[in-house]
Amino acid sequence: MTFNAAEVFVQGPIDPALARECAEAIGANPAVGAHLLFLGQIRADRLDAGVVRGIEYTAHQTMAQGAFTALVDRAAAAGGLLEVTIRHSLGYVPVGGASLLIAVGAGHRDEAYRLSRDILEAIKKEVPIYGREITEDDQSRWKVNR
Amino acid sequence: MSDQGLTGVRIRYFGPLLDVTGTPQETVSLRLPDTVAGVNRQLWQHRPGLAGVDYRLAVDETLREGEEAVATAREIALLPPFSGG
């Protein structure tokens, strides 16, 4: 398994074609029996300020890269992680665009589901990324993770 | 760099703190060494709007807490709760 935190951030929405590339890359590992792909997409939430049209992402990029490496190392140490790809957007992502991709390959489905969820929750808690929700009439509010 | 115990430190603001400070970064003269809590008090003197705001402090990219010592620092990042994903 190789993971390069320097490749995680992409400008703007994540190209859905990357999902196919991940499936092919993970599928090339003959020990993999289960792939799991998670895509986080921007919702048109209705806020007090209006309806969300997109989210602008910023980050402390070097600290974020360290946090991505640490959480993948921890997932790998827990066992079962054979392949992993993570992408997260920076900059503006409109409603309907994907801002987070997590693709994992594991031997079995239980491991794949657990690993994908663990990595997702760790990203939300441990990586210094910030989203500003922007409404259709250009009001904005800093996103809060629940 | 050091003048009568003062050190110029690059302070970086993230997320909602950008609305408090109106700038992503600035250089602030801090009296070091100090504790994390003491550094916060110095920053609040410089930027009163930061007092009472929920954030953690990273000294040269390492998260630090309350009574830990800050002997030197090139960069201090003020990190509110994260909201990626």
- The complex's ipTM works out to 0.92
Please give the Cα distance from A34 to A27 (Å, whole number).
9
B50, B78 contact by CB (below 8 A): yes
- Of A63, A52, A76, nearest in space to A9 by CA: A63
CATH number at residue A36: 3.90.1170.40
Q: B85 at the A interface (CB within 8 A)?
A: yes
Q: Which residues of A touch B60 (CB under 8 A)?
A: none
Q: How many domains does chain A have?
A: 1
- Ordered domains of chain B (ranges, CATH): 2-79 (3.10.20.30)
What is the interface size between A and B, counted as CB pairs within 8 Å?
67
Residues A24-44 pLDDT 10s: 999 999 999 999 999 999 999
Q: What range does the domain containing A128 cover?
A: 5-142
Residues A41-89 pLDDT 10s: 999 999 999 999 999 999 999 999 999 999 999 999 999 999 999 999 9
